[in-house]
Structure formats: structure tokens, C-alpha cells
Structure 1
């Protein structure tokens, strides 16, 4: 088998990674965010690169800094905004701020200097240089300067405590607070160059700084345009669920949360960009209204409408549109929605992203479908949804070239890392330049399927070593995806089957019940019953694949993370067919998980008490006979560390020998989250997983990874 970058973990983690794409207003260049490994191999550093959007050769690096750059967004004038922690004053610990790279050329310059930094640009107007960005302010702060004063006092006293007055308090791997998420409007026309305004220290060396002593926070620089707080009383939570701005920059349409006990729902609100006045556009009980987008003409709003799911079943994610009116029936100035209506009502898919087509007569939509994620066109007049791409790829970051109507996007599959392409109106695909080139992969990919006991088609991808034959069958790894509302349809740098294939394994990537891209009924098969159809689907498709002559049915293992870890635990308690099981960030005791996860209100709403009890893996610990590798990070708030600790405790209680030994292992990361993202820890993760599999699947001696002591 030829050598590829996947044969060496050190080579693999050093591969450049394209993370995002944006398109310039004139459609001529795509800007990519590319992450590369730092010199010490302990983090990824990001820079922005420009490539021609017509498929011609050439790539140019746009940014260079020690802190790196991310989250690029173009303004109407073609200037490029991005977030970077590079200091523009004497501050080695500078927070991420907005910077601008002028379209006309020259060096990047700072756009904001908020004491708590900036999260990113949420929306950019199409015909005006106006933007909306997100940033946090402390609850008692009435102004930007007041926020800086409060933060300085906390820093001086070394106070890290957070007082919560609502729910939630965590999100994935981050503690919410002490600040609250605000939306700010910013008119970039106020960002002008002045002779003498800049110094080697940046814009901070202006008149606004003159009144600040060494013990006081620096006032907001007078040389920068001052942001306007559009959500002065945001309340607790993770903030908006989608922001749009009209082409003229005058009105912001946002999906804002409203508290309901310890839960919340999202409604559509219009905010006047100049005054900050808010108008509720649409609010429905037990319904979330999210992800608004505004048409190019500014006359129509599209959004996602989702009725709240219950234990009785999932609900459809619906595409809706409405006219956007700026006067009422009497001609009085007032903003509102006109004739909200659903489109694509017969389309049984969940939109992942959408934007208006060039003529504003349709939405360009991406959605999971049958193990892929194509691009679709959904007409506003209620016509049938048209599929624009017909290959084995998943598309993301789809951008419209209004001059031609073509699209530019990132696409990937399990055989190809994310890369930029141009999509013509007839569906033709033109690959764009990939800075650094695309990595060669060792696997062959086949589509496999089976028929479940209830007659449902269940499919997946099978990744095979090139030398797998009937005379030399490959051992099989069953990889179970997380979510559970998910699909194995796009490249992942964290869980990458190419690494296993390079070590001689075949990898099965199935989409069992609860997976997206197969319709609402397919999801419903596993609703409030995770241990039923999802489990039997996995066993059925494993049966089909292990019957192949090029697969060794006597050497198999199962592994999964998050929901996949839940399912790995369930598999461990219900079958002895596998030689090893790897369970990462896994749910073990559902009655414990629901009240301790970062958003317990959601999980409590989709399970009955009986469903939680019947489907909890911990009830079957006494049946486990397969060696298990338990993996968990302490900073995982979605599946808290208590799940891994309890699983490990109960494995020891049931299976430890008198001398304390047992066949199971626990790989613990004190400073990692749900995914284990640090490059050096990713290497340790794979080394440990492959050593565990080699011992139990391949029959080799246990070899403790070097960096684990």
C-alpha cells in the first residue's frame, strides 16, 4: 500500500485545513480561512488566503500575525473584515477584535476595541457599509466604557466568580458569563484615516487616551467609529439564533430568545439600526423562529420555523417566507411581516443553510440527503425543490455570485477534505485552487445498505483498504456518529476513518434511525427509543457488511462519540459480537445526564420518564463482556464528565479482579472538551485507540503510548 499522510499521525495533524469560505461582492475572489499547525505542534494558527473564484490558478496569502485571523466577512465596498487578537496597543493579551483589510490595498487596521473583545460579524449590509457584530458586556455595564471599568476591577481583584440569574449557565465547552451576548451596529463610513492619528501603538494613541491613568481602563478610542448597542438587555443564554440586515443597513432582523421558565424559544424581531427601537415581527407559542435572511431587494424575509418536539415525535424544520413592509395599511411608518407562508411544504428534508437566489425568486438551500448534503433551489412560488448538485459530496458555506448566478462553496466527502468549488447554473463543478494541495487518501469508498426488520432501508459508507480481498480480509471497525440528529456525509478532521484504513482496518459509517437526510419518519423510528431501532439498524448493517468475503467477521470492534458513545455503551450491554468497544464522551446514565448537561430543558422535553429509564445503558452494565476504552474530557459540558466517571466506576465495581486489574481502560483529558481538539492530544487519542484495538482486535501485545508515561 502506498504511503499517504495518514500513515503518520504527526504528518496527519500537520495537514493544512480549510475551515471557511467567503466570496467578494464582485464574485471574483474567494477568501479561505486556513488552519496550519504551529511550530511547537500544540495549536492551529489561522490565516486568510485569496483564490480566484473562476477556477484559474493562483493563491495569495492575505494576513500574517502571531495571533492569527478568522471569521472573515466582506463589506459592501469589498473591504475584508476579520477577527484577530493581534494587539494594536501595548497588550500582549489582546482580546479578539474586528480588523479591516482595505479592498484598495494596504495593511489591516483595527475597527473595534472592546474590553471583552468581539465574537464575530453576524451580518453585513449588501449596499451600505454597515455591519452587525456580536460581543459581550457585563450585566451592570450601561456603556462600553463602563464595561471596561467593571472588567478592569475584576481583573485587578482576580475575581473569576459568576453570578447567574437565569438558565443556561454553560454551552458546549464554555461557561456562560460573566458577560451577556449583545448585538452591535457599526457604520464603517465612520472609519476614516487621519494624518497623525496612528502611531506605532495604533489608534489607541489619540485624544481619547489622554485622560486615562495607568490604573484606569482606556476610554473607547475617539478615532474608531463607536458601536451602537442594539440589544441593551439581552438576558441570559447563548444569544441570537440568526441575524440579517437589510441591504441599506437600516433594519436588522434577528431571532432573539425569550425565556420560558428554564427554557427559551426564539422569535423574530426587527431592530432599527439607528435608534435601536425593537419591533416583534412574529412570535408563536411552542415554536422557534430562527435563521432569518433578507432578499437582495430588501422586500422579503426567509426564516426557519420549527414546532417544539415532544416525546411523541420529532417535528419538521420548515422554510417560511414573508414580505417585509416598512409602512402599515394607513401609510404610517411601521415595520412588519406580510403574508408569512411556508414554501417547499412537500420537501421532507431539514435545511442546514439557505440564502436568496440572484433573482430573489427562490432560496438556495443545503440539506442532508441520503448520506450526502447537496445544494437545492426552493422556489418561493411553491414549486418543486430542485437539486442542483448530484455527486457524493456535502456542501457548505454556499455563496452567490450575483453577477453570474453561479455559486461558490466548500465541499467534502470521506474521500476528499473540504475544498472550494464553483457551481454553475447547470450544475457543473469547477474546482478552485487549494493552497497547499489536497492530501492523498488510502481508502476506497463504497456505499452499502441493508433492510431493517421493519422493512426500512438503512445505508452507510464502507471505507476499505486497497488490499482487502477474500484471501486477505480486513478487520472491521463500526463507527457510530454523534448527534444523534446527524449523518456520516462530510469529512471530519477529528474522527477520520482514513487513519484507521491506513492501519489496515475497514471502517463502516452507517446512518441508523435518528439520522438526518432520510425524512422525518426515519428520525421518528428512534425517537424516545434510542436503544431500539438505532441499535437494531446498526446490527443489521454490520451483519450485511461482515458477510462480505473481504471483511473478517471474526475481528470486529465498535466505537462512537457523544450519541455514538451512548450507542457504543448500549452495544456493550446487549451483544458480545465485538472484540473491543471505544466509547468517547458518552452518555451512560440518562437520568443523571439530563439535569447536568448544558441545556437540560431540551433533553427533558423529548424524553418521557419511561423512555429515559428504558433506554439508559447503565442498567445493563452487568452484561458487558467486551473490553471497553472509555474516553472523556473534563471540559465537556454537553456530556459532563460525570457520565465518564460513573461508567468507569461501575466497570470497576463489576469487573475489577481482586488485585484491581481489569480489561477496560480510561483515557482522561483534564483540559479537553467534547471533541479533544489540541493537536498533541489528538495524537494521544489515536495512539491509545489504535493500541487498544491492536490488542483486542489484532491480538497484539498491549503497548502503552509513549506520551502517557
Structure 2
């Protein structure tokens, strides 16, 4: 009798375990927009709390909203700190660890500077500017706060006049944009209206505001921000600015030092380096300034080295010259002899520790993709995601080298969804080099069945399809209809060493195309469940370029999808950034090197086009101008190749609005279904 009861109980327990898995459902585009997106994690000076941003989207209203949240790092309990109808972001801790400053658009036309106590209560307006505020940072003593704002230089002493001018411009009916600069627009915005960014410091007791960049008209971040760091004593600011002058025939980002008490005292500490310098970060003991530098004039994605500037001696030391990584995200903890940094690492993002005394670099964590690293009390806190897991907060013990997930914002939703298995493989690509790929299985995989293969081709080309949860090209979502998904990190991809990335400069269609073809052969030969008669390729930006190149060089795919893809290389001199195109295309029109450019231009192989293609493009795309997609579509229709155009009048290089994104996935899946079947 007891044996029967135990048997029945064991069957019951097995059912409890199995049933939830059986009840899981397929991943949908709507699910993708229900996921809570975490960002901007920052840990309090006392190490007791983390503040971060959670963005949630309302599909019906077609918009998102961001609020500040807290996590108690002793109990891992979370609570919402703000509930504003407009987004709150950019949290920074006051040194008292009880107050947070942040940016919010509440009752103003522009986002302004607010402050809130972590114990609750209403947010307080700290300061406002005519064109809003961004990127705040407290001084270490908490008596001052630094921030960025845009102005018109002629009104730098007259904010009331600036407000009147902004109103006048808003009411003006003339819409012409006029320029003589080589750089005149960026991403989806024009740079012709005369606005400049300035860095200010506000004395919180006296309510006195000081413009640290008075008279400056330099370019900073092209999106209008300024990358800067404040020294621990509050006497110095370091920032990144472009050192060239209009009409900007070239660009060069340099690192500057500015005396906060005497802003006219300015020093360009990287003026001898004619490639980009970036990401200044003062050491916590105030002795050094860390920053990143690139040196190769022939490779725009050259490795970023960690540099150390001795503030007393005025000398610069390259700390990572011997390491084949590109570093970013510099930060320190309580041990001033160590600095922590991130690097792309074989399609992941790894955390490194550099010992300044021993001049030793150690990789201390790898797995997935991480960002927003904070070091406190012998622990690293960061956000981490994988191909199958959205970002959550993790705690990493620096002594034990153990990791723990400490937030669960998306666990309930993800537990309801079937995801496919993810594998990492290497194969022999172009020149016999080892090339990496991720393979994502369909969620209901049956090894006895045959499945279509879909390549997702990343942009850049100097980038990766990495081990992260992508919201625009989500590999698990692409696999959900029953496809095997391949993410090939072909020659030119970053995170596999400088030489691997640089190997395609001047020949963008060569080795990456070979890699995709060899990857296809590798997968067909290795996995019997792949149906070689049902294959497709899809990509965006450079990925779209490679799809267009594929169209002119092979007919082995049943369907192609080109999102914001480059079709005619000559037409890319209408792009927002044209500086690197001369080296990348091995020539420029004004050099008369047309054969070099056209050699790798998909437009010159249009006579070979046979594969049905879906073309998608946004009107506000200034990186790959919309005429690229329209020209490609016109040629395909003229040749009689099945083609479909999806045009977004209000999107840029990326599809960012929830309903537009959901429709994007519908068009993509309908196209694949049409030519690959169920």
C-alpha cells in the first residue's frame, strides 16, 4: 500500500514539473514589447542601494515610459521610486546616499533636473534650462552638480532672450536647412540650426550657475551630449570634444582638461594623437585620468586602449597595448590600485580587472553581455542579458568569482514562453580562419523533422550578433515560427581581434560573403535536420548590404530581406557620416576611383538578381539614406523579381515604435512563410 502511494505521489510530482513546460507558448512580437527593459544601474556611495531605470511600453498607446527603481543590495528587495507619466532617467547619487538627482520632462517642454529622496516623497525641481538638461553629476562633497544643456551661442548670457528666440523659431514658417559643412546631419537630426552643447556647474547653496565652456562652439557627442568626468576634489573636469573646425573636412575627438575654478585654463592632453580619444574617467584618488585611445588611421573600429594620464607629471601611459581587446566602461571600486573595464570578447562582453601595481590584466567574468558595471564592497553589480534572457541585475563576488541574479522583472513573462536551444560553433571560413556562429533551434524542435535555415546578418560591418537579448533583431523571436537561426560573426566582426575586424576594409563584400556561404555548407553538412532547399537570409544596415550582395552572387536562398541595406556604394556619400567611406570603399568619386567603388557595390550585379526580396526602409534614416531602398526596389520590380517594399515615413535606421515594430515582424514572417512555407 505504501509503495502504491509513493508511486502515485511520484507520478503527481512529475506531472507538476512537466505540465508548466507543456503549457508554454510561442514567443510573439507583442511579448517582446511587454518585456521590462532595465538600464542605467548606479550604486549608492555607501553600497546599500542600487538605482536603475525600468522602461515599460504600452502597445495600444504606442509609447514607452521610464521610471526610477531602487534595489536594496542587502535584501535584494526592489521598489518603484517614481511614477511620473513622462519618463524619468539618468539617475545619479548624492554623496549622502539618500538622495538621487535625475532628468525628467514633467511640466516643461524640455527635460529638466529633479531630485528625490529614496525614502519617498515628491520629486523636487532642482534646476531648469531653456533647452533642457542632461547628464548630471554631483561633486564628491555634494555641494555642486554638473550638467549639460544646449544653447544658441549668441544668447549664452541671456536665457530670457534664448526662450524668445526658441518661440520665434517654432512659429517660423521657413523650413529650409542651409549648410556649407561636410557634417550637417546625424542619425535622424539636422545639425544646421546653430545649437551648441555646454557644460555647466551649479552651486546648490548659492544657486549660482557657471558655464564652463563659455565661448566654445566645438562639436561634442553628435547626439548633443557631452562625455565628461569630474575629479574627486571637484576642481577639474575632463571632457571629449572634436578638435577640428568647420567645415569639418575631418573629425578628431580629443580629451580636454578644464579648471573648474578658472574655466579659461584648458589643456588638450591628446592633441598629438590624430585618431579618436574617448571616455575620460578620474581615478578615485585623484592622481590619474583614465581614457580610451585609438591609433590606426586605416581602421575606424581600431582597438580602444586604456590610457592613464598622470595629473601631476603630465605623462601618458598605454596600459593595454599588448592586449587584443577594445576596452570601454572604465570604473574603480574601493581599491584604488585596480580599475575595471569591459571588452567585447568572442561575441560576448566580458569584465576585466587591471592591477595598476602589477600591470596585470585578468578576465574575471564572461558570459552573455553586461553593462552598467558598479564596484562596491568587493562586489560588482551590473546588468546582464543573453540571447534567451532579457537584462536583469546581477551581483558578482570579486573574491569568490561567483555570480548571482538579484532581480526578476521579467521572470513571470519569460517562464510562460518557449525558447529554442542556443549553441555556439566554429567553422573554417575565408582564408581558412576560424569563424564563430550562434545557432538557435526552433522552440518545438524535433530532430526527426526538417527545418528551414534563416541567416541573420549583423550590421556595422564592425559589430557582432552577440550573446545578448536584441530588441530589434531578436533571434529567439525569429526562431519561433519554426526556423533554425544562424548568427554568423564573419570577417569584419569585432571581438575576435583587430586583424580579423580590419581584414575586410576596402572589400566589404568579399570575406563576409565567403563566410556566410561556408557557414551554410558547414551547417547543412553537420545538421541533418536543416532543409537545404528552404533557406533565407536577412540583415539590416551592413547586413542589408550583404543581403544585397548575396542577391547578385548566388541563388541558393529562397528569400532575402534587406532592411536599411546599402545598395549603391556611390549613394552612400549622401550618408550622415562619409569620412570612413573612402578607406572602406577603397576610393572616392573625387579621386576618380570608380572601378574600386563599384567592384563591391551590389548595384553593379543587379543583372544577376533572381531571389525574391523584401525591402524595408525608414524616411528618417540618414545613415543609409532611403533612396538606397527605393532604388533597390525599383530595380527588382523592373527586372521582374518578386519584391515587396515596406516604407516607414516616421522611422530612422531602426524601427523603434511598438506598433511599427510589431508590423515589421509581421511583414518579415509573412515573407519567410510565403517562400519557405510553414
2:139 aligned residue (125, 143, 148):
125
The residue that corresponds to 2:243 in the other structure is 258
2:500 pairs with 1:522? yes
Structure 1 position 664, deviation (Å): 0.7
The residue that corresponds to 1:429 in the other structure is 403
The residue that corresponds to 1:409 in the other structure is 382
2:67 pairs with 1:52? no
1:110 aligned residue (125, 131, 135):
125
2:481 pairs with 1:503? yes
The residue that corresponds to 1:355 in the other structure is 331
Distance, in Å, in 2 between the alignment partners of 1:227 and 1:103 is 28
Give the secondary structure class of the aligned counterpart of 2:580. Answer: helix
Q: Which moved more, 1:70-79 or 1:559-568?
A: 70-79
TM-score (norm 1): 0.86
Structure 1 position 501, deviation (Å): 1.9
Distance, in Å, in 1 between the alignment partners of 2:182 and 2:114 is 33
Distance, in Å, in 2 between the alignment partners of 1:156 and 1:408 is 48
1:286 aligned residue (274, 289, 295):
274
Alignment CA distance shift 1:77-1:170 (3 Å): farther
2:309 pairs with 1:322? yes
Q: Which moved more, 1:230-239 or 1:508-517?
A: 230-239
The residue that corresponds to 2:654 in the other structure is 675
Give the secondary structure class of the aligned counterpart of 1:499. Answer: helix
The residue that corresponds to 1:541 in the other structure is 519
Give the secondary structure class of the aligned counterpart of 1:513. Answer: coil
Structure 1 position 104, deviation (Å): 5.8
Structure 1 position 100, deviation (Å): 1.1
Do the aligned residues in 1 keep the contact of 2:452 with 2:532 (CA within 8 Å)? Answer: yes
Please give the residue correspondences for 1:149-164 in structure 2 after superposition, counting only pairs within 5 Å.
Answer: 149-158=164-173, 160-164=175-179
Alignment CA distance shift 1:446-1:381 (3 Å): same
Structure 1 position 180, deviation (Å): 2.7
1:468 aligned residue (445, 450, 453):
445
2:671 pairs with 1:697? no
Structure 1 position 113, deviation (Å): 1.7
Give the secondary structure class of the aligned counterpart of 2:311. Answer: strand
Do the aligned residues in 1 keep the contact of 2:508 with 2:584 (CA within 8 Å)? Answer: no
Structure 1 position 163, deviation (Å): 4.5
Alignment CA distance shift 1:108-1:276 (3 Å): same
Structure 1 position 583, deviation (Å): 0.6
2:112 aligned residue (86, 97, 106):
97
Alignment CA distance shift 1:249-1:146 (3 Å): farther
2:442 pairs with 1:450? no
Alignment CA distance shift 1:389-1:505 (3 Å): same
Q: Which moved more, 1:147-156 or 1:449-458?
A: 147-156
The residue that corresponds to 2:615 in the other structure is 630
Q: For structure 1, which runs of at least 5 residues remain unmatched after alignment?
A: 192-223, 326-336, 656-661, 701-709
2:102 pairs with 1:82? yes
2:190 aligned residue (158, 169, 175):
175
2:514 pairs with 1:531? no
The residue that corresponds to 1:658 in the other structure is none
Alignment CA distance shift 1:615-1:19 (3 Å): same
Alignment CA distance shift 1:241-1:67 (3 Å): closer
2:548 pairs with 1:569? yes
Distance, in Å, in 2 between the alignment partners of 1:225 and 1:442 is 55
Give the secondary structure class of the aligned counterpart of 1:509. Answer: strand
Give the secondary structure class of the aligned counterpart of 2:449. Answer: coil
TM-score (norm 2): 0.89
Do the aligned residues in 1 keep the contact of 2:454 with 2:486 (CA within 8 Å)? Answer: yes
Structure 1 position 453, deviation (Å): 4.1
4+ runs of 1 displaced by more than 4 Å?
1-6, 158-163
Please give the residue correspondences for 1:375-414 in structure 2 after superposition, counting only pairs within 5 Å.
Answer: 375-381=351-357, 383-390=359-366, 392-401=367-376, 404-414=377-387
Distance, in Å, in 2 between the alignment partners of 1:350 and 1:103 is 37
Alignment CA distance shift 1:236-1:561 (3 Å): same
Alignment CA distance shift 1:517-1:382 (3 Å): farther
Distance, in Å, in 1 between the alignment partners of 2:381 and 2:58 is 29
Do the aligned residues in 2 keep the contact of 1:131 with 1:187 (CA within 8 Å)? Answer: yes
2:148 aligned residue (131, 134, 143):
134
Do the aligned residues in 1 keep the contact of 2:145 with 2:204 (CA within 8 Å)? Answer: no
Distance, in Å, in 1 between the alignment partners of 2:302 and 2:40 is 30
The residue that corresponds to 1:242 in the other structure is 227
Do the aligned residues in 2 keep the contact of 1:182 with 1:229 (CA within 8 Å)? Answer: no
Q: For structure 2, which runs of at least 5 residues remain unmatched after alignment?
A: 1-20, 588-594
CA root-mean-square deviation: 2.2
Structure 1 position 601, deviation (Å): 1.6
Give the secondary structure class of the aligned counterpart of 1:683. Answer: helix
The residue that corresponds to 1:652 in the other structure is 637
Give the secondary structure class of the aligned counterpart of 2:321. Answer: coil
2:294 aligned residue (280, 300, 306):
306
Distance, in Å, in 1 between the alignment partners of 2:262 and 2:357 is 35
Distance, in Å, in 2 between the alignment partners of 1:641 and 1:421 is 41
Q: Which moved more, 1:1-10 or 1:529-538?
A: 1-10
The residue that corresponds to 2:4 in the other structure is none
Structure 1 position 620, deviation (Å): 0.8
Give the secondary structure class of the aligned counterpart of 2:407. Answer: coil
The residue that corresponds to 1:607 in the other structure is 585
Alignment CA distance shift 1:12-1:105 (3 Å): closer
Alignment CA distance shift 1:104-1:186 (3 Å): farther
The residue that corresponds to 2:436 in the other structure is 459
